[in-house]
Amino acid sequence: MEKSMTAASKLTHDILSLGRKNKNMLALSPVANGFLNLLMVIVCVLALIPIYVIVISSVTSEAALTANGYRLWPEEFSTMAYTFLFNKGSILITAYINTIIATLAGTFLAVVMVGLYAYAISRDNFKFKTFFTFYAFFTMLFSGGLVSYYMVTRQVLQIQNSLWALFLPSAFSPFWVIVMRTFYKANVPNEVIESARMDGASEWRILLRIVLPLSLPGLATVALFSAIGIWNNFFNCLLLVDEAKFYSLQFTIYTTLNNIRFLLENADKMAGLVNVSTLPSQTFRMAMAVVTVGPIIFAYPFFQRYFIQGLTIGAVKG
Amino acid sequence: MALPGAIWLFLFAYLPMPGIIMAFKTYRFTKPPADSLIQNKFIYSLITSPWVGLKNFEYLTLQSNINNTLTYIRNTVLYNLLFMVVGLVFSVALAVIIYELTNKFWAKLYHSILFLPFFISWIVVAYVVCALGSSNGIINSILASKGLGSIEVYRLKGAWPIIFLVANLWRYTGNGSIIYLAVITGIDPEQYEAAAMDGAGKWKQFLNITLPNLIPVIVLLQILAVGRIFGSDFDMFYTLPNGAAVVKDVTYTLDIFVYNMLRSGSPIGYPAAAAFLQSIVGFILILVTNFVVRKTRPELSLF
Amino acid sequence: MFKKIVPLLLVVIMVVSVFGCSTPTPTTAVQPTTAVQPTTAVQPTATTKPAETVTLDYYIVGTGDTPARPLVEDAINAYIEPLIGAKVVFHIIPWADWASKAVTGMEAGEKMDIFFTADWSNYMKLASEGLLTPLNDDKGPNGNLLKQYGQGILTSLNPAFITGTQIDGVNYAVPTNKELSVPWGFVYNATMADEIGFTDADAAKVKTMKDLEPWIAKAKAAHPDLYPYLTDGTVGFMLWVHAFATNLSDYVVNTNAVPDASGKVDESIFCPMETDWMKDYLATVHDWFTKGYINPDASLSTFDTSQVLNSGKFFIEPMPLKGNNIKAQELVIASGNADLKLKEIYGMPKVINTSDTGGSMLAIPKASDNPVQAMKLLNLMHTDSKLINMMLYGVEGTMWKLDPDGRVNVIDSAWLGAHPGAWVWADITIQYVTNKEDPTKNKLLIDYAKDAFFEPSLGFRFRTESVAPELAAIQTVVDGSQRALLTGYVDPAVELPKFIQALKDAGLDKVLAEVQKQYDAWKLAKSK
């Protein structure tokens, strides 16, 4: 998979990249393009149906929902769920802020740690690469269990009830290390590094000026998935946070929905101790689901340009 | 350079790892006496708990229950294989399509839309499935208005593999295609141009250029997926059927079995044993798969 | 290579992770005392006055943490610190996370001093794993805690509570004084009853499901688009004891609850699913299902009966009751529906069985370093009305006010909504009721049990260790399938034999034999 870029091919590519509009040879035929567009539209509509149902039911009145169940168009509109939601706003706002900070910090940490680790083990001349690869990989399969993890994070590392709890446990991922290693191997050939080193560049310079630009799509992928992972993660909060002021966003919705499910499932065992009537209504749950998705849906569009742009930058740097 | 990550791994993964022996013990809590060297209550209790060998694995191999266990394992493995194969095809297809579409604005839009399902939690999706497929749900009311019969999704065993597959694709295709898209974007377009100039059509270009470039990542991801073959997407399998009992045989996976067992108040050695089993099987499978890959294309193997 | 940044990163990460824990709020800092350093030796003289104030970590289940909590803690601590030399910090763990967080934490030796538990919430499991402190052990490290520091508890509780919650004679938790007899029955829509002519006299005549049928048929005729029989699978006419205090289903392993004419109860252990009564019941329910009396989605775990009840779109629903129409009143208040009128029908006589005593308890974990203070607090909670109302409603003045008639006017329900309610706080007789409820409610609840029938099995708790694998297998068989049968979703003629066979395959007979064995042994020991 070594794609060595000779000077000639780079030149050709530069010329071509400037004249992108003229890539008639590579473009799809209009028929194929039209067909694929149509296909995509259908697929997207289908994929959106469940989301549509959720959004619609969040603005349906509770009475209509109970009477008729979920429908494609509400019999009766009502924004009660949202007003109710914003009345309980303070916890949600805190959770939003916590999650945003945690996502930013965690993503940064993840990209740095994963990037460095993967780079190290992708170099053939790294003596311990097999050891470190295995060291990371082993943890993907074997774990000490929940109780042990709980004990270590709370009693040894003591990160509970803090913002650290929300992202530190997610700040590194052996999975992405291994994926990035493949990416580095493919995109950052040893010859390039060697030639730079022979030119007298320091490791730091090599990393920043050569490796980084070449690995941008990969790192962008890691950043994207880490950001989403941390945003969506409720487990860290579940295990490590007791105090409302450190709640994460997904945890609040998860807890609400899961509490309801738990109480409904166990109603017979608890002999009616809990008055299930006071649980949040269905429309409220839907509204929560909508609201907690939040800005993360813009994460992908944000990162998209790195996927498309990546190679151009690399080639120019040559 | 590997040090920060290595330290993180040590703290968060290796420090808790000794807890794995809980699978082989009957956990009894004991408070460490004042003169003991180990004052951490958990560690002390773990060390002093009686060793019971494979006893915690018994419930899995219980003579009377072995059919059920095998059914659940079969479900788990088959679903995973199904998702791996079909998911791969769809993700790669999507990545290629997005890359090839001429109008970049629409391509990005489609991709962003297909990304959305990933953010909806399964519990909410379960409501939607109920809304769509239950006896007075949307689909049935449409069918009824056309005079066709009604389908009872919660009674149809055959429907569920399809439902799970569709749900899995719905949620993960957009996501999964990103890695492949990143790789495809990294392919030098002049390779395509050279091929086109040689008269190769789109399909040939895909086979000879795109696919070989994707192979390292595909192989890698499949090897890693194999390691999780005894696991499953718990939330999806548990919440989507909404507790429908009639279809249990096709919707229960090993994780659900373990979860239900937790609810019966069983000792904590039990889920630890199940987790250990999943880990060991996954580990062996990965080693085997990796070995096979190493023999054929060494540069693709994990290690 | 990167020897420069690496050590820096290393130091930063380690330093931050060691010190970057709870933020310094004035009162609610959770002291990380269970670090690995060998300093937390148990002082043998812990019964004497502590030099400094002790912080008690109180774990309770609920909907989740609330910003109101620190305020409530401040108010409570200002009150109890001079009395018992301890402060309390609440940890409200959400329902769904209780098992993965609270129980896990306890097993991990986390610092906990008071822990909510119940028969339906891991009581037996925790006790058998040695996680709970025995409270009446004369030879314990702090003596018999209940006798020495819990006199208030012992005098205020019905003795059934104390003996009923023991395991082999040892008390592992302090029960909450609340309704002791919770007979099953039905709640029905009074408005619809009037429509179809279902009078109170008719209600009194209902003794079996067949008696209900004509009325349900009438309700369906009057409202064809409704499902008159609202159920999630629970049975209104219960002939059996409600659970042996295990997590196992009532319909799988149980014994009789109803005394015969001579006042004796048949104490044999059996599987209710195998009885003829159950066969008839299931056939009836299935019949109703096909006739459209039961909602087709009733067997799904997402089916929310409370929503239907709140809207009043049903006729009758099985429900555990508390006597004196109290349950019906509570449901009406909670529904927020002013048009809803409910009445009750009783489906079994007033009995007291083991799980009624253990429905809500507070335990002291073994890991606690302050069992004496914890017991003192528990005792205070059972005797001090001011304290318990603070714990229930929050800070007086800002979150609630006392009306002239002695009822509570709730101003801010943040705290009230975070915990499960009155039944987890020690003793309902010293609590105020809200101004929407009957002022005599609590007294009525307690008095209701005074003439109830004490089941002979009261106090028997089944130890699950020897049949744990079988129980795990049985649980898997029960899940989902049981509810499908009980809501009439499947045809019992076909499915019931399959269900029973699956139970047997999972080891039902072995479990029944084991329960019978333990029960006989327990009876023998008791009679000595």
Q: What pLDDT, in 10s, does the model give residues B59-71?
A: 777 766 677 788 8
DSSP SS3 for C248 = coil
Distance from CA of B25 to the nearest CA of C (A): 12
pLDDT of residue C28: 32
pLDDT of residue A267: 67
Is B64 part of the contact surface with chain A (CB cutoff 8 Å)?
no
Is C349 part of the contact surface with chain B (CB cutoff 8 Å)?
no
pLDDT in tens, C495-505: 999 999 989 98
Give CA–CA dist B86/C462, Å, rounded.
49
Neighbours, chain B (3 or more CB pairs < 8 A): A, C
pLDDT of residue C11: 41
Contact yes or no for B151/B139 (Cβ under 8 A)? yes
State the DSSP code for C53: P
Question: A256, A238, A254, A255: which is closest to A246 by C-alpha?
Answer: A238
Interface of C with A in 416-455 (CB under 8 A): 417, 420-421, 423
More confident residue, C103 or C29: C103
**C-alpha C160: how far from chain center:** 17
DSSP output for A167-189: HGGGS--HHHHHHHHHHHHHHS-
Mean pLDDT of A160-170: 89
Give CA–CA dist A224/C29, Å, rounded.
35
| Closest in B15, B17, B110 to A40, CB measured | B110
Neighbouring C-beta atoms of residue C180, cutoff 10 Å: 26
Chain C residue with CA closest to B123: the answer is C302
- Chosen for mutation from A112, A113, A277 (greatest number of chain C CBs closer than 10 Å) is A277
- Chosen for mutation from C25, C91, C304 (greatest number of chain A CBs closer than 10 Å) is C304
| Closest in B43, B138, B216 to A1, CB measured | B216
DSSP SS3 for C254 = strand
Question: B38, B40, C33, B12: which is closest to A157 by C-alpha?
Answer: B12
Q: Which residues contact A294 (CB under 8 A, 6 or more apart)?
A: A96, A99, A231, A249
C303 contacts on A by Cβ (under 8 Å):
264
Share of chain A above pLDDT 70, in %: 80
B154 contacts on C by Cβ (under 8 Å):
299-300
Is B28 part of the contact surface with chain C (CB cutoff 8 Å)?
yes
Question: What is the pTM (predicted TM-score) of this model?
Answer: 0.82
Residue type for A119, please?
Y
pLDDT of residue B60: 77
Stated as kind and residue range, the H or E segment containing C417 is: helix C414-418
Neighbouring C-beta atoms of residue B233, cutoff 10 Å: 20
Distance from CA of C434 to the nearest CA of B (A): 34
Cβ contact C108–A267 (<8 Å): no
C1 contacts on B by Cβ (under 8 Å):
1
Distance from CA of A52 to the nearest CA of B (A): 10
Give CA–CA dist C132/C314, Å, rounded.
44
C170-179 CB burial, b ≥16 within 10 A, e <16: ebbbbbbbbb
Cβ contact C101–A160 (<8 Å): no
| Closest in A156, A242, A274 to C91, CB measured | A242
Give CA–CA dist B242/B129, Å, rounded.
9
Cβ contact C471–B265 (<8 Å): yes
Interface of B with A in 264-293 (CB under 8 A): 268, 271-272, 275, 279, 282-283, 286
pLDDT of residue A273: 64
State both tokens at A52: 């549509």
Q: Which residues contact B199 (CB under 8 A, 6 or more apart)?
A: none
Interface of C with B in 496-515 (CB under 8 A): 505-507
- Chosen for mutation from C18, C101, C241, C333 (greatest number of chain A CBs closer than 10 Å) is C101
| Closest in C21, C247, C301 to A162, CB measured | C21
| Closest in B28, B29, B265 to C247, CB measured | B265
pLDDT in tens, A76-95: 777 777 777 777 667 788 88
pLDDT in tens, A243-271: 888 988 888 888 887 887 787 777 666 65
pLDDT of residue C496: 93
Indicate the average pLDDT of chain C: 83
Distance from CA of B3 to the nearest CA of C (A): 7
Neighbours, chain C (3 or more CB pairs < 8 A): A, B
pLDDT of residue A86: 74
Contact yes or no for B239/C440 (Cβ under 8 A)? no
**C-alpha A318: how far from chain center:** 31
- Chosen for mutation from A57, A90, A273 (greatest number of chain C CBs closer than 10 Å) is A273
Asked if the ipTM is above 0.85, the reply is no
**C-alpha A314: how far from chain center:** 25
pLDDT in tens, C11-60: 444 433 333 333 333 333 333 333 333 333 333 444 444 457 889 999 99
Are β-strands C351-352 and C316-320 bridged in parallel, bridged antiparallel, or unpaired? Answer: unpaired
Give CA–CA dist B240/A234, Å, rounded.
19
Region for B63 from its dihedrals, namely left if φ exceeds 0, alpha if ψ lies in -120 to 50, beta otherwise? alpha
Mean pLDDT of C213-237: 89
pLDDT of residue A276: 60
Is B4 part of the contact surface with chain A (CB cutoff 8 Å)?
yes
Give CA–CA dist C343/C187, Å, rounded.
6
State the DSSP code for A281: P
B65 contacts on C by Cβ (under 8 Å):
469, 473, 505-507
Mean pLDDT of A271-281: 63
B140 contacts on C by Cβ (under 8 Å):
none
Distance from CA of C403 to the nearest CA of A (A): 24
Give me the phi and psi of C362, to 5 degrees please: -125, 125
Cβ contact C474–B136 (<8 Å): no
Interface of B with C in 89-128 (CB under 8 A): 126-127
- Chosen for mutation from B111, B181, B188, B206 (greatest number of chain A CBs closer than 10 Å) is B188
pLDDT of residue A307: 63
Cβ contact B9–A174 (<8 Å): yes
Is C96 part of the contact surface with chain A (CB cutoff 8 Å)?
yes
Cβ contact A47–B116 (<8 Å): yes
Three-state SS string across B1-45, please? CCHHHHHHHHHHHHCCHHHHHHHHECCCCCCCCCCCCCCCHHHHH
Q: Could you tell me the mean pLDDT of each successive run of 10 residues in chain B, 303 residues long?
A: 82 87 86 80 86 83 75 90 93 88 83 85 81 75 76 82 90 86 79 81 81 86 86 85 82 84 77 88 88 82 71
Give CA–CA dist C449/C312, Å, rounded.
30
Give CA–CA dist A298/A305, Å, rounded.
12
Distance from CA of C504 to the nearest CA of A (A): 22
A194-212 CB burial, b ≥16 within 10 A, e <16: eebeeeebeeeebbeebbb
State both tokens at A217: 């799509």
Cβ contact A273–C309 (<8 Å): no
Cβ contact B134–A27 (<8 Å): no
C86, pLDDT greater than 80: yes
In which band, very low, low, confident or very high, does the pLDDT at A317 lie, cut at 50, 70 and 90?
Answer: very low
| Closest in A154, A259, A278 to C334, CB measured | A278
Distance from CA of C528 to the nearest CA of A (A): 33
State both tokens at B163: 């439902």
Give CA–CA dist B225/B243, Å, rounded.
27
C297-313 CB burial, b ≥16 within 10 A, e <16: bbbbbbbbbbbbbbbbb
Is B198 part of the contact surface with chain A (CB cutoff 8 Å)?
no
pLDDT in tens, A36-81: 889 999 999 988 888 888 888 888 877 777 666 667 777 777 777 7
pLDDT in tens, C295-337: 888 888 778 788 788 888 899 999 888 888 888 888 888 777 7
